[in-house]
Structure 1
Amino acid sequence: MLDRMFRANETITARSVTRSVIGFSATTSITRDEWRSAQLAVWIQRQSDLRKIQEQADKHSKPKLLAKLEQKEKRIRELEQTVDLLLSSHRSMIHAVGEVGGMRAWLKFYEKHQGIQKQLSDIGAFPSSVVPISTNPGKPQ
């Protein structure tokens, strides 16, 4: 019974054990018997030690967890800024390629890579002056 109570994190006292064990009607059934009383004391101490360790771990881990969360949020902001920079750069490069007459070759390359073209379009990597290639070359979009 003591092991079950310990594992379930139920507070172990003579009264709680008495309520849990059929056949014990009073706490003195436990406290007067030397062996039972000693076993109760051992399990109460084990539970106390475990709870102290848990409490210390909670105190130490919350600040660490918050610091780690803050680092992750900072990293996400940095990555979002990088993505914004790369999108802007990508749009500018596509626009520059179009201005020097290389747009046809660029579009021909992406004709074979419709999945990439769709992803770039979905994230807004194409400048507004570029119309994505149709998957059916014979049909206008």
Structure 2
Amino acid sequence: MKLEKLESILKRMLDGNITITARSITRLNDSPFKHASDLTRNPDRRNLVETYQARQQELRALIEKTDKSSRTNLQARVARLVKENELLKEELELLVASHKAMLLAVGEMGGMAAWRRFFPTWEETRKRLSQLRALPTAEVTELSGRQK
């Protein structure tokens, strides 16, 4: 009788993904067992509890493997994305620096007219480059002794 009741409790705990231990079984309201030793001293009860514990471990391992949004998979994905983000930031910094140098060189070779030939939509491109801070900056100062 108690073995059947125990099996019923264990099935319910397994279905509800409630961790199966001798102590957790005794805490249930409908449990006929008052102490954990009521389960661990009796070989048949202990074997039944151990069987269900093994099933629960297998089930949890299977769920972990198949669940694409499991905690382990999410942590690995976040770590991969953080690393990828850092790499992209480094690449952006390199491209911005090289772009500034390229614009300075084009400026020396032919100025804005030469640059516009490569970028027909130069105004939109210039706005985007400005947002990325990829345009070289220069401070213009007026010379005081010159006549206009």
TM-score (normalised: structure 1): 0.49
